[in-house]
Structure 1
Amino acid sequence: MTRTLSFAFVLPLFVFTSTVCFARSVKYAVKCDYEHCPAGKADHLNVHIVSHTHDDVGWLKTVDQYYYGAKTDLQRAGVQYILDSVIPELLANPQRRFIYVETAFFWQWWKEQNNVTKDIVVKLVNEGRLEFIGGGWCMNDEAAAHYNAIIDQMTFGHRKLLDTFGKCGVPKVAWQIDPFGHSREQAFLFAKMNFDGLFFGRLDWMDKVNRAQQKTLELVWKGSDESVLGGDLFTGALPNGYNPPNGFCFDDTCADEPIIDDPQSDDYNVARKVDDFINASVIQSEKYATNHIIMTMGSDFQYQNAHIWYKNLDKLIKYVNEQQENGSKVNVFYSSPSCYLYALNKAGLNWTTKRDDFLPYSSDRHSYWTGYFTSRPAQKRYIRDSNNILQITKQLQTLSRINDKRTKFEINSLKQAMAVNQHHDAVTGTEKQHVAYDYARQLSRGVKNAQSVIINAYKRLLPGLTASSFSFCLKLNESECSITETYKSFTVTIYNPLVHERSFTVRLPVVGKSAYNIFDHNGDEVESTLIPIPDYVKNIPGRKSHADFELVFEVSLPALGLTTYEVHKAQRQRKWQSNSRQDTNVIKLKAKSFIVTFDAKSGEMKGIQMNDGKFISAKQSFKWYQGMAGNNSKSVFRASGAYIFRPNGTHDFSEAKASFHLHKNGGGEIHQTYNSWLGQSIRVDPSKDLIEFDWVVGPIPFADGIGKEIITHFETDLQTQKVFYTDSNGRQILKRVRDHRDTWKYVVTEPVSGNYYPVNSRIFIRDEQRDIQLTVLNDRTQGGSSVTDGCLELMVHRRLLYDDAFGVGEPLNETGVDDRGLVVRGKHFLILSKIEDGAKMHRKLAQEIYMAPLITFSNYNHQERRKQYFNTKLISFLNTTLPENVHLLTLEQWENGRVLLRLEHYFESTEDPSRLSQPVKVYLKHLFTPFKITNAVEMTLSANQLLSSATRLKWKTKDDNGLISSEHSFEDHHGVNNELVITLYPMQIRTFIVDVADKQK
């Protein structure tokens, strides 16, 4: 936006590599390794020219519009023409190089090429002159994306490249030039994908100034505190974002002068151009530590006419290097990010290190890119839900052993849609509105196809059922489901994608006050209750339901399995308690190990009484920030927009009294109505240690001409000393200190937005003296902070009237289905605990929220009851119970009957040292019931290299005292023994391609 590696592959393992493509690739000598990089000159300033294009997988235009070059009124960009243009230009000069990043676009282009063109491309790739950098399906965002989805989209892209080009299709360098801030977890994931380094374009302007002065724009980023895992990654911040230096953009869309080298021309400019380039190179070199620098020659969707670029770059290289005869020490040549990285490695310096992340990002004093942490909250939730369905679909496909072409196509539809939606202008919510619709359309199509896979898997896993037996209710988030509202009897099948048993609360929309009889798989009746659906849910625009109650009951789910419940509508009416008035001043609702108190007159939460006698004052309310209006002509006039969060005051809804209703059926539930566009249900379950906040926000009013950014605010009397904690991409936990940065002296210019961080799954505060931790978990990525001690806030919705002038060109004003404004429904979960128990509770709950059960329905068939349906309808697909700190991250059908398996230890080593943070063993051979694992080969994280032969460049670092540390080997594999037993260490993800054999029925 304007804004020496050793390849040792065991061929039998990689039989899934395309035979045709592999045969094509082996015709040509392999020169894609580091040894074939240009060496430069030892006593010169070596300038690595990197020809590149940055191709957003959707932003101002949709993915297809970008690829085909449609809608030129929005942006002149056609990706197919870039690749069409670059290939012949590379052939014209063997010194030229080009890098490509987004596999989504490359794959679309590749499928259209004839065999002659494909042979040429394979030759160029093998020669290292066309190099894939990054290689994910897209260049994913690093703040709003969950680590599970990041791994998937990278794997999807890497597999295409490996299958097509073999070892020269394995990227060596990560290239995150456009995301708006960079996370520590992303660095760790890249390290485990066996990247040698990472280059990015955006870091906080204050941080960049500081690092430029200290020559520390390149460093070793410690991606994890778990030193045994080897998560270090060499990282470099690029000098010009990802653009050329001023005056050297040679594209159809550029206004810079070409190099005019005819001495007879009045416009002859070689001397001036050469001087300007040498000066720019010298100035840039003063900010970096070696005699090698990188020049990014390209930008958004450039090289559609590659001839212009290369003709001018050829001249530039020629004339700059000719000046060496006159004493110049500047040496210029075509290169690539990997060759530049190799030159830095050979320099043998002792590099500084970094342990925190590069978030939040600000581009000037008043432009903090923290609004996109929340922008388009419905889209963020849809992406999260779609990923949930994708993981379940992959599991069920693998467990049912379905692998026909139709199933592959259907599941790839959702894989591809999910991969596209991880793009840094997709999950971020920073695209134009029509592009957001297209992203949602792709997900909708993918989910629909996935449903077919799920139904066919159930048909195979549950003999006796027809494929038409199951239906889905995708609008349960609006309390709408036609089958539960229409039929007097139906069955509910619930699949648990986690490898641990769990309880789950089912809430089904029904019509009327009738009682229901619910039976589990044994025929035993299950307790249930009816709760009225509040008006703020009934009035959600587009809701077509007549349901006025929710049928609520608790279910027990087997590990990685499913169970079925039978529901019958009774003739009698159900009784329930509903009170909005209390005789006392306090309402008390009992959780498992604490009591929540509410004001009996307002329904407002007041405090929490723990079983050990500790009481904390705890108030939850909604507030809103007034979005800054501005014309963006200067930093001080920056408006709040899709990217930028810039508040102009805070307003408190709680000052206006909310009406409420108390429902004591099955625990306690308070429905609060603040106004016509804000309502909330607060639930306390006596069997659980959490408080659930189920909120509905929108349409946000803006007739007053004021944009609004809505937050949920938790205010306590905890003493937190400016410290709070947030997750990194849903995984590691990072300590945050208000108004502080670890690596430079931070100057506060925006006291609220400058302290906002992405909260992918949880945020918490601690009172060390009282030994209390308060954690809030969410159901999608949101911006969050602790702006004052003892408080937490999460932004839930935004509606703004001004663009922030960072390229999207329209205000963030989602109008929803009825053009009145978008309505969003979501949940937060509050946990109160001792500090030592906090991780045990939030780790487990975060997994349960992220990997939610799948609910399917079928019309009840009396003949099936007991006879063939319920006798077998409690199924676990695990043979053995897995340790409670182990997560099944991936279970996915690979090629030729193989399976991709990822297992994860999801505790950090300091969180529960005596038990859950200990290493654990997992026995793979008989782990699953449908098949046994006969062989396992460990891979790098994105499954494109054997871990046993994957090596990375080694770097020397110095600690805070400037002392040289030993070289890092980054080797952390522990192998698989003959009994297929593996060990998992804290925060470790291990990836295997396994051979399986079906078990005898």
Structure 2
Amino acid sequence: MAARSEHLHTAAAFCAFSLLFCAVSSFPLAPEGKRQTKCGYESCPVTKPGLLNVHLVPHTHDDVGWLKTVDQYFYGDRNDIQHAGVQYILDSVVDQLLKNPDRRFIYVETSFFFRWWKQQGEEMRNTVRMLVNQGRLEFVNGGWCMSDEAATHYSSVIDQMTLGLRFLNETFGECGRPRVAWHIDPFGHAREHASMFAQMGYDGLFFGRVDYQDRDQRQKSLDQELLWRASDSLTPPMADLFTGILPNGYNPPEGFCWDQSCDDAPIRDDPDLEDYNVDDVVQRFLAIAHAQANVYKTNHIIMTMGSDFQYENANLWYKNLDKLILYVNRRQSNGSNVNLLYSTPSCYLQELHRANQTWALKTDDFFPYADDAHDFWTGYFTSRPALKRYERFSNALLQTCNQLEVLGGPVSRNGPFGKGDTLTMRKSMAVAQHHDAVSGTSKQHVANDYARRLATGWNTCQVVVSNSLSALSGSAAPRVYCDLLNISVCSFTEASPEFTVTIFNPLGRPVLWPVRLPVNGTQYSVSGPDGNHVDSQVVPVSGSTHDVRRGRGFAVNELVFEVQAPPLGFSSYYVSQSQEWTGTKTGPESRPKTGLTQGSLQIENKFLRATFDPDTGLLTGLMNLETKQKIDLTQNFYWYNASDGNSSDSNQPSGAYIFRPNSSTPFVISKTAKTQLIQTSVMQELRQVFSPWVSQVVRLYSGSRALELEWTIGPVPIDDDLGKEVITRLDTNIKSGGVFYTDSNGRELLRRRKDFRPTWDLKQSEPIAGNYYPINSRAFIMVRDEENQLTVVTDRSQGGSSIQNGSLEIMLHRRLLYDDVRGVAEPLNETSALFPDGLVVRGSLLLSLDPPKSAADKHRPLGQETVLQPLLSFTKGKPEASAELTFSGLQTALPPAVHLLTLSQWDSDSVLLRLEHQFQSWESQSNSQPVTINLQKLFSTLTVLGFSELNLSANQWKEDMKRFDWTPKTEKPVQKTFVDPSFWEVTLRPMEIRTFLLRVRL
């Protein structure tokens, strides 16, 4: 208890040091402010015991881009596409709330509300504050958007939630804090999202989309409301979240939609008129209410009264809802047991909590989602793979930008290279998390807009990076960034005989990283920050790289070398073109060997050996040279023929959302590959060409413990009038028994089994699509008794499965000719001015082979390196003599189990820090143990003066986070109490993320 008291004392002292921080920052209002308001649970309407209380929830679902861009939706532009104008919705709702104090409204998407708020005068702002303080206007969810749950990475979800919730706290204080997570539209639900929501302090989660078989079973057992235990490592109830499945998706009951976009008849209550319909409306509503009550557990039910972009004319809704409540409740005098009331999801949740029931316990997730027997929403796991990669790559830049803004100090925002900011990129990345953005389920022009926003964020972030690196290195040399290195394009390196490349590592541990730079010379010398020679090699650019450039870049070669980058820091390497071959120790050690060897065909380093069939050119085996493990491994590319909807059992085609092949057997693209072997001291690779539109490089760098498969696919041919779902399949002799593992949003791993769901008896109707799951960062198959685990790390979110025993398949690209009738109204057929014949996509998979008991020690760090890869920048010529060539922002590297998740500027003298234990409790003998970190000894350039702990989303003090307790049907566990060793030392347990606000001095 002493340490706890010191912590609170220091938190109070922290407030004393910074009046601005405590008075107007994104933290709850002072107690005296709370007493002047009546919001949250205190503002809930009174219900009637013994009656069926129907909670009517007026709401609008406002997509942050989908059929129109974010701007078009806000302003009400392009109504020829979809009639929607968010600014008018908020105008109209506020006006109508003032006319009846019983009325309620909930709002979700903070990005739209933020825009609207900026345009309001002080009088309107005061009116809205009054409505919020009285609980009549309530925010739910509160993130910048309602994020997708399949294709998002947890770090980006946390960032976008923090951005939205911070604005609400700064604007409305405690009354602006949402109590309920509201994910009514995402297409399946991830366990990691539930875990994050619980750690953010939410009392419950509501959503609408659930598999049709799952819903049928839950209706019969009255388990549509449940307790979701969202972690197998965090001690309950830390990741427990009450979860409710809404009865009508997020729409109103049939016949009771009163928006201008609806066709239902209004309530006509003048008895002198011929079309008086009150009795009919009441009878229909009572029948619906009783039917709904029969499949839920308590005498409280919820009805969502609204839908997509509704309430632009809120008078239509509220006038009819007022009448509905009046006339239904009048029936109580004649014996009716139904009581209608305006309500909110949090008020409904409070009544469920008061009911003191026991609830079904769920420990898996809600993937995959199907709304009918042949309609599995598993295609969007891969849709728009280029946008998915750009979003993931942008996250790496944003984290680097955030970190360097802290490490560089104020000069990073306004320095020698101009004014930069991180907020532009934060907002762009937050928008990209929307469930029609990174999911790939928007119209093409909207997808282009998401990419444009990210590009704008890159520009402002790179100014921050340049200013910060200039301050940290002491060099004022202008910096150049090459954003197309994945296709070997960089005009700077292509034309420069000498230059310096600086590698910034955003991870909290050192990394060995391969660098590939486009050049036109044939001989180069590379020296590291210590002045010593670094082994480098020049290899020719591949034909597929040349083709995908489409006129961008002119380099004929690539310079390849490996660099060491310190934790949270940079290293600079000097590159100069040599005039002639020297053969000495200061030059390249050996010329690259190109061509095919006789007999066996293989590439290897000191860790791995990959073998190939010399006749077919295909991969045949993988061996871990350290452990002597060896598996048969065949890899090839295939495509599923996408259904056009013309079949006897269903008219459902494949589209942006839905994956529906018309056969369970994919077509092989080629049984052989043309090959070219390149062997150097730095890297060995086999270049494979399978067809004019499919190629691959299988590569091993000298220091890598993973085999890289760099694939290039496209333009996918459609001259045969067939849409294609392109996969790569890894076939092994591992006896996996139909079991495989995938990650959840990049964090915890979930066990999958073919044709199986843990919570109901599955009737499988789509043997391929019905077994696909999101792979956000990695998947693996294993068999423990043979001590083999094959892990695949992806560079973006993709869909995948294990259809055959010992096999993993991952969908890489999709090109489709039909719309899947889910609203987008255009096929997923990506083209552009540069790619009029169809999109070409490049990516990579990393393969590792390890014993299961130690595999996580390899694939966890490998996954983090893939997500947060180093940032390269370039300057002309040699580094300045006085420049620092290496720097680390940490005093020492973080332990292997600890990941530096967030380091970002909060205000002028405080920074936000998140430290994460990145191992589950069961997956590593050495790293699944608690780890203690001393915050005062963490940074090399920051002096930590004090700190306080926050919840995960940084909108509540950890001490103030109180959540509802729920009783599962199983025995309720007792929560353990952990105490940190001392004030400055904090302990992280498996899968724990701890969030701190540090007061610092540079």
Please say whether Structure 1 and Structure 2 have the same fold, judged by a TM-score greater than 0.5.
yes
Q: Distance in 2 between matches of 1:662 and 1:735?
A: 38
Confirm or deny: 8 A CA contact 1:201 1:237 kept in the other structure. Answer: yes
Confirm or deny: 8 A CA contact 1:188 1:224 kept in the other structure. Answer: yes
**Residue 823 of structure 1: which of 837, 840, 847 is its match?**
840
Q: Distance in 2 between matches of 1:227 and 1:163?
A: 30
Partner of 1:621: 636
1:986 aligns with 2:990: yes
| 1:686 CA drift (Å) | 4.2
SS of the aligned residue for 2:572 comes to: strand
Partner of 1:160: 167
SS of the aligned residue for 2:302 comes to: strand
| 1:111 CA drift (Å) | 0.3
Deviation sequence 1:387-444 (CA, Å, 0-9, x none): 1000000000001112787699721110000000000000000000000111011000
Question: Which residue identity lines up with residue 455 of structure 1 in the other structure?
Answer: S
Q: Distance in 1 between matches of 2:630 and 2:137?
A: 64
| 1:615 CA drift (Å) | 3.1
1:376 aligns with 2:384: yes
**Residue 438 of structure 2: which of 423, 427, 450 is its match?**
427
1:555 aligns with 2:549: no
Q: Distance in 1 between matches of 2:809 and 2:677?
A: 25
1:721 aligns with 2:729: no
| 1:631 CA drift (Å) | 6.4
Q: Distance in 2 between matches of 1:777 and 1:424?
A: 23
Q: 1:98 to 1:458 in 2, by over 3 A?
A: same
SS of the aligned residue for 1:554 comes to: strand
**Residue 648 of structure 1: which of 627, 645, 662 is its match?**
662
Q: Distance in 1 between matches of 2:702 and 2:784?
A: 27
Partner of 1:5: none
| 1:595 CA drift (Å) | 2.2
| 1:529 CA drift (Å) | 1.0
Confirm or deny: 8 A CA contact 1:889 1:903 kept in the other structure. Answer: yes
**Residue 805 of structure 2: which of 775, 789, 792 is its match?**
789
1:901 aligns with 2:910: no
Partner of 2:615: 601
Q: Distance in 2 between matches of 1:169 and 1:120?
A: 14
Partner of 1:853: 870
| 1:700 CA drift (Å) | 0.5
**Residue 193 of structure 2: which of 183, 186, 189 is its match?**
186
Partner of 1:699: 715
Q: 1:849 to 1:344 in 2, by over 3 A?
A: same
Confirm or deny: 8 A CA contact 1:197 1:341 kept in the other structure. Answer: yes
| 1:26 CA drift (Å) | 4.7
Q: 1:613 to 1:33 in 2, by over 3 A?
A: closer
Q: 1:24 to 1:986 in 2, by over 3 A?
A: closer
1:522 aligns with 2:530: yes
| 1:63 CA drift (Å) | 0.2
Confirm or deny: 8 A CA contact 2:412 2:468 kept in the other structure. Answer: no
Deviation sequence 1:233-257 (CA, Å, 0-9, x none): 0000000000000000000010001
Question: Which residue identity lines up with residue 409 of structure 2 in the other structure?
Answer: R
Partner of 1:766: 782
Confirm or deny: 8 A CA contact 2:713 2:813 kept in the other structure. Answer: yes
Confirm or deny: 8 A CA contact 1:591 1:690 kept in the other structure. Answer: no
SS of the aligned residue for 2:635 comes to: strand
**Residue 269 of structure 1: which of 274, 277, 299 is its match?**
277
Q: Distance in 2 between matches of 1:805 and 1:14?
A: 55
Q: Distance in 2 between matches of 1:616 and 1:476?
A: 33
Partner of 1:232: 240
Partner of 1:134: 141
Question: Which residue identity lines up with residue 744 of structure 1 in the other structure?
Answer: W
Question: Which residue identity lines up with residue 301 of structure 1 in the other structure?
Answer: F
1:474 aligns with 2:483: yes
Q: 1:901 to 1:701 in 2, by over 3 A?
A: same
**Map 1:935-974 → 2, pairs under 5 A:** 935-959=946-970, 964-965=971-972, 974=979
Question: Which residue identity lines up with residue 164 of structure 2 in the other structure?
Answer: G
Confirm or deny: 8 A CA contact 2:617 2:672 kept in the other structure. Answer: no
Q: 1:405 to 1:765 in 2, by over 3 A?
A: closer
| 1:523 CA drift (Å) | 1.1
| 1:976 CA drift (Å) | 8.2
Confirm or deny: 8 A CA contact 1:479 1:509 kept in the other structure. Answer: yes
Partner of 1:436: 447
Partner of 2:585: none
Aligned length: 973
| 1:912 CA drift (Å) | 1.6
Confirm or deny: 8 A CA contact 1:17 1:163 kept in the other structure. Answer: no
User: Root-mean-square deviation (CA), in Å?
Assistant: 2.1
Q: Distance in 2 between matches of 1:542 and 1:882?
A: 43
Confirm or deny: 8 A CA contact 1:364 1:635 kept in the other structure. Answer: no
Task: Say which is worse superposed, 763-772 or 358-367, in terms of deviation.
Answer: 763-772
Q: Distance in 2 between matches of 1:349 and 1:654?
A: 56
| 1:579 CA drift (Å) | 4.4
Confirm or deny: 8 A CA contact 2:411 2:471 kept in the other structure. Answer: no
Partner of 2:704: 688
Deviation sequence 1:783-812 (CA, Å, 0-9, x none): 010011100011110000000000000000
Q: 1:628 to 1:654 in 2, by over 3 A?
A: closer
**Residue 570 of structure 1: which of 575, 578, 582 is its match?**
578
| 1:531 CA drift (Å) | 1.9
Q: 1:87 to 1:27 in 2, by over 3 A?
A: farther
Q: Which consecutive unaligned segments of at least 5 residues does structure 2 have?
A: 1-8, 582-587
Q: Distance in 1 between matches of 2:19 and 2:649?
A: 54
Question: Which residue identity lines up with residue 886 of structure 1 in the other structure?
Answer: V
Confirm or deny: 8 A CA contact 1:25 1:123 kept in the other structure. Answer: no
Confirm or deny: 8 A CA contact 1:720 1:790 kept in the other structure. Answer: yes
Partner of 1:544: 552
Partner of 1:47: 54
| 1:636 CA drift (Å) | 0.7
Q: 1:250 to 1:18 in 2, by over 3 A?
A: farther
Q: Distance in 1 between matches of 2:784 and 2:527?
A: 47
Partner of 2:6: none
1:750 aligns with 2:766: yes
1:503 aligns with 2:512: yes
SS of the aligned residue for 1:802 comes to: coil
1:678 aligns with 2:678: no
Sequence identity percentage: 48
Q: Distance in 1 between matches of 2:842 and 2:718?
A: 19
Q: Distance in 1 between matches of 2:299 and 2:756?
A: 33
SS of the aligned residue for 1:894 comes to: strand
Q: Distance in 1 between matches of 2:980 and 2:701?
A: 44
SS of the aligned residue for 1:427 comes to: coil
Question: Which residue identity lines up with residue 506 of structure 1 in the other structure?
Answer: V
Q: 1:341 to 1:635 in 2, by over 3 A?
A: farther
Confirm or deny: 8 A CA contact 1:56 1:425 kept in the other structure. Answer: yes
Q: Distance in 2 between matches of 1:14 and 1:289?
A: 48
Confirm or deny: 8 A CA contact 2:412 2:465 kept in the other structure. Answer: no
Confirm or deny: 8 A CA contact 1:772 1:834 kept in the other structure. Answer: yes
Deviation sequence 1:978-999 (CA, Å, 0-9, x none): 3x1100000000001111122x
Task: Say which is worse superposed, 552-561 or 427-436, in terms of deviation.
Answer: 552-561
TM-score by length of 1: 0.95
**Residue 126 of structure 2: which of 110, 119, 126 is its match?**
119
Confirm or deny: 8 A CA contact 1:403 1:893 kept in the other structure. Answer: no
SS of the aligned residue for 2:580 comes to: strand
TM-score by length of 2: 0.95
Question: Which residue identity lines up with residue 856 of structure 2 in the other structure?
Answer: A
SS of the aligned residue for 1:900 comes to: strand
Q: Distance in 2 between matches of 1:14 and 1:952?
A: 28
Q: 1:943 to 1:217 in 2, by over 3 A?
A: same
